[in-house]
Structure 1
């Protein structure tokens, strides 16, 4: 498919403004703020109202079984195999047809995200960097988003880790709410990713206070009987 046909299809489905913004970010300039988060591996997860899901089979991702991503994540089969060969810990969840419907990764060492942002994410001793968590739409809003993190935390704890760290795009509201739901706290650090005419630049900045408080659900005041 040539470039003009791709643009035509994108305009047809997303509109002119969305298409222009995508082209501008891809070819001219974009700035992404990645908020650093952290959490210990033993504190209980706060209560939630996510719905259950049909049982799935958990398997560690290897270069040999990465073909299971072909149906739902076909463009990332090679990436999954590469990550496995690099020694990162990956979990995938298979349905009854042995197709991967969700996955998540963890790295005990400094992680070079050459597949997406292109920068390094440093990891301290005792920590691991969590990345790539994703599930197909059929499982959105289910407890799988909690379970696949808990399963990875257990696996990484056995490898000597006591803390999980990751980054989250500042504009990705569903992902930020998921971090709140899982009990993460902000580190007050931002990895800034810039792209100018295809060249990437990075710098770390800091902030005080919270960038997540506005997304937290307000606590209900206890109801008390009034005197008559």
Structure 2
């Protein structure tokens, strides 16, 4: 499908204003707010009602086995190999066909993300920076979103880490809800990433007080009391 055809189809589906807004973000200027989150590695994960999933095999990602991403994450094979060669800790969860259906990464040192945001994420001693977590659609809403992180936390704890930190896009409501469900708390910091003409990246950090996620928290249920008959 040509560029003009794609543009015409997008206008029909989303409308002219939404199409122009998307084009502006992609080709001219885009600002993303990344909220810093943190969590210790020992507190239990709050109860959840996620669906179970079939058995999977957890494997450390290396440059030699990155080909396992070819089926579901074909455009990431090279990136996975690069991250492994740089010494970051990555886990992939393989199905019975040997294909990766989920992955996640951790870095115990400052991480420069040249693949997506184009900025540096500093890491303090004892922390590790968690990034790149993703599941195939078939596993959305499953317990794998929890187990994926727990396996990485275990591996990073063995390396001497006692805290996980990461960033989450403020407009990504499902990801923010996942963080709250996992027991993360806000650090009161925002990494602001600016993209100019789809090519140049600039970033700066700002701070805030209070919580920006209160609207996403589920209200606590009142205690059940006996009713007189």
Structure-2-length-normalised TM-score: 0.93
Q: Which residue of 2 aligns with 1:102?
A: 102
Which deviates further from its counterpart, 210-219 or 16-25?
Answer: 16-25
Q: Which residue of 2 aligns with 1:38?
A: 38
Q: Taking structure 1 as reference, are residues 75 and 12 closer, same or farther at Cα in structure 2, changes over 3 Å only?
A: farther
Structure 2: 5+ residue stretches without partners:
none
Q: SS where residue 23 of structure 2 aligns?
A: helix
Q: Which residue of 2 aligns with 1:85?
A: 85
Q: Which residue of 2 aligns with 1:72?
A: 72
Which deviates further from its counterpart, 1-10 or 34-43?
Answer: 1-10
Question: Shift of residue 214 of structure 1?
Answer: 1.1
Question: Shift of residue 195 of structure 1?
Answer: 1.7
Q: Which residue of 2 aligns with 1:222?
A: 223
Structure 1: 5+ residue stretches without partners:
none
Number of residue pairs the alignment of both structures matches: 228
Q: Which residue of 1 aligns with 2:200?
A: 199
Question: Shift of residue 24 of structure 1?
Answer: 1.1
Q: CA RMSD for the aligned pairs?
A: 1.8
Question: Shift of residue 199 of structure 1?
Answer: 2.5
Q: Which residue of 1 aligns with 2:163?
A: 163
Q: Taking structure 1 as reference, are residues 227 and 143 closer, same or farther at Cα in structure 2, changes over 3 Å only?
A: closer
Q: Taking structure 1 as reference, are residues 217 and 135 closer, same or farther at Cα in structure 2, changes over 3 Å only?
A: same
Distance (Å, rounded) in 1 between the aligned partners of 2:14 and 2:81? 32
Q: Which residue of 2 aligns with 1:50?
A: 50
Q: Which residue of 2 aligns with 1:137?
A: 137
* Residues 134-192 of structure 1, C-alpha deviations (whole Å, 9 max, x = no match): 00010001000000100000000001100000000011100000000000010000000
* Residues 60-105 of structure 1, C-alpha deviations (whole Å, 9 max, x = no match): 0011111111111001110000000000000001111111000000
Q: Which residue of 2 aligns with 1:26?
A: 26
Distance (Å, rounded) in 2 between the aligned partners of 1:116 and 1:69? 18
Structure-1-length-normalised TM-score: 0.94
Distance (Å, rounded) in 2 between the aligned partners of 1:46 and 1:103? 22
Distance (Å, rounded) in 2 between the aligned partners of 1:226 and 1:135? 45
* Residues 190-212 of structure 1, C-alpha deviations (whole Å, 9 max, x = no match): 00011233332211000000011
Distance (Å, rounded) in 1 between the aligned partners of 2:206 and 2:141? 33
Question: Shift of residue 2 of structure 1?
Answer: 5.5
Q: SS where residue 133 of structure 1 aligns?
A: strand
